Amino acid sequence: MIVDITTTGATLAANGLKVLDDGVILRSQANLVASKDADWSGDARETARVILDHIAARARASKYREVRTRFTGCNEALLAEAHNRFGVVAPFGGPTSSGMLTLHCPPAQLYALGSFLREHGADTVSVASLDYVLDRENPLFARLEAFLRQ
């Protein structure tokens, strides 16, 4: 097997190689294992919490894109409709006093949501990728804590 990063494809053509259809060479998976008998001091739990926060925050971020807009016509009914139609969440609540609104939207719904917002008065809608979304509660760490209490 030959693995190469290509821009022009010249190396591939010169060597009679082909690009894999999905581009995936190997899928892998990691497992985090915890033992009840291990040292679960405060420091050890805090280290586990940080690791699990990182994993959970990256996983949550991969499910959404951040959508921002400003318009005065936004209200609770419009947010509820956006949630029901496009699966968006408003992580910081409704619009600010200046009309700024931040939504987290599943990637497949971005264009439909952008059209919906503009149809309802938004002049500009920006979209950004998220690196991390840290929630107050981390279900991964909660599961570890519950396991250790058994």
| C-alpha closest to that of 93 among 101, 81, 84 | 101
Neighbour tally for 112: CB within 10 Å: 13
pLDDT at 22: 66
pLDDT at 91: 94
User: The tokens 């405060």 sit on which residue?
Assistant: 42
Instruction: Inform me whether the pLDDT recorded for 9 exceeds 80.
Output: no
| C-alpha closest to that of 106 among 59, 62, 74 | 62
pTM of the model: 0.72
Six token digits for residue 144: 């570890």
Domain boundary assignment for the chain: 65-129
Distances (CA, A) of 86 to 5, 81, 89, 140: 36, 8, 9, 26
Q: In what order do the strands lie in the sheet with 100-105?
A: 100-105, 65-70, 125-129
Which DSSP string do the residues of 103-146 spell out, in sequence order? EEE-GGGHHHHHHHHHHTT-S-EEEEE-S----SS-HHHHHHHH
In tens, the pLDDT along 119-146 reads 999 989 999 999 999 999 999 999 999 9
Question: Do 118 and 125 form a contact (C-beta atoms < 8 A)?
Answer: yes
If you average pLDDT over residues 18-36, what whole number do you get? 75
In tens, the pLDDT along 86-105 reads 999 999 998 888 889 999 99
Instruction: Inform me whether the pLDDT recorded for 114 exceeds 90.
Output: yes
Instruction: Inform me whether the pLDDT recorded for 111 exceeds 70.
Output: yes
Question: Do 135 and 89 form a contact (C-beta atoms < 8 A)?
Answer: no
Six token digits for residue 32: 């985090």
**Which strand (E) or helix (H) includes residue 66?**
strand 65-70
Instruction: Inform me whether the pLDDT recorded for 21 exceeds 70.
Output: no
For the chain, percent of residues with pLDDT exceeding 90: 61
Of the CATH numbers 3.30.450, 1.10.287, 3.30.70, 3.40.30, which one belongs to the domain with range 65-129? 3.30.70
